[in-house]
Amino acid sequence: MRAPFIVIEGLDRSGKDTQSELILEYVSSRMKAKLIHFPNRETTTGRLINDYLQKRVKLTDTEIHNLYAVNRREEEVAMRHDLLNGTALISIRYAFSGAAYSKAKDVPELPLEACLGPDRGVIAPDTVLFLTSRVADVSARAGFGDELYETSPFQAKVAASFELVKQESVDSVRWVDIPTGTIEEVFESIKVELDRMLADAASDNLGPIRRLWA
């Protein structure tokens, strides 16, 4: 049985970590499941990305963009193996953040096509759960401002870029905008999608692994 690949996306501090724990618990009660997170800060590329985000090293916008994409490609073999062997994957962030954050920088060397390019052909998730949120809300949350991208003007640009990325993605993935609400309300909306995917997985209806933006 091919297992589902679920991505949770959204602005910084939009509740991805909290919801992903709930998703993991829910899916784990039905099938094997793993939580992953991009950037994976544990690998060599991930440590460099971490130093960049903590403002300890400087990289060009193109260098960091490509580094994030490599950080994802490093996991492809293991991800494919898990999905084909019945382990559901829940990923906090993926190529959608990759394209949206770099596009939000609004620099000439990274037009939308260059932002999508390095991730074309990666494993496509079955569903993207996009946590909608207002910039004013996320910027008021604890810890906001610690890392490089956590400023309100930048988050507003990221929100606009996610819209562009969504338009590029709707043909190849199921993209679901999850309305804001309490933790419980948000999870209720998410559960509808999880039930659909779990039913598809159980009846072997997910189909083969697809490629993103390819």
Question: Smallest distance, Å, CB 99 to ligand 2DT?
Answer: 8
If one asks whether residue 39 binds ligand 2DT (CB under 6 A), the answer comes out as yes
Question: Smallest distance, Å, CB 201 to ligand 2DT?
Answer: 25
Contact residues for 99 (Cβ-Cβ < 8 A; gap 6+): 112, 115, 116, 119, 161, 165, 168
- The one-letter amino acid code at 100 reads A
If one asks whether residue 213 binds ligand 2DT (CB under 6 A), the answer comes out as no
Helix (H) or strand (E) run with residue 174 in it: strand 174-178
Q: Which is nearer to ligand 2DT, 20 or 127 (CB)?
A: 20
Q: Which of 19, 45, 66, 97 binds ligand 2DT (CB under 6 A)?
A: 97
CB 128 within 8 A of CB 174: yes
Q: Which is nearer to ligand 2DT, 86 or 145 (CB)?
A: 145
If one asks whether residue 45 binds ligand 2DT (CB under 6 A), the answer comes out as no
Residue window 98-137: x/- pattern of binding to ligand 2DT, with contact defined by CB under 6 A: x--x------------------------------------
CB atoms within 10 A of CB 131: 21
Q: What is the DSSP letter of 12?
A: T
Burial class (CB in 10 A: 0-12, 13-18, 19+), 41: middle
If one asks whether residue 93 binds ligand 2DT (CB under 6 A), the answer comes out as yes
The bridge status of strand 127-131 relative to strand 88-92 is unpaired
Residues of this chain that interact with ligand 2DT (CB under 6 A) are 12, 38-39, 53, 68, 93, 97-98, 101, 149
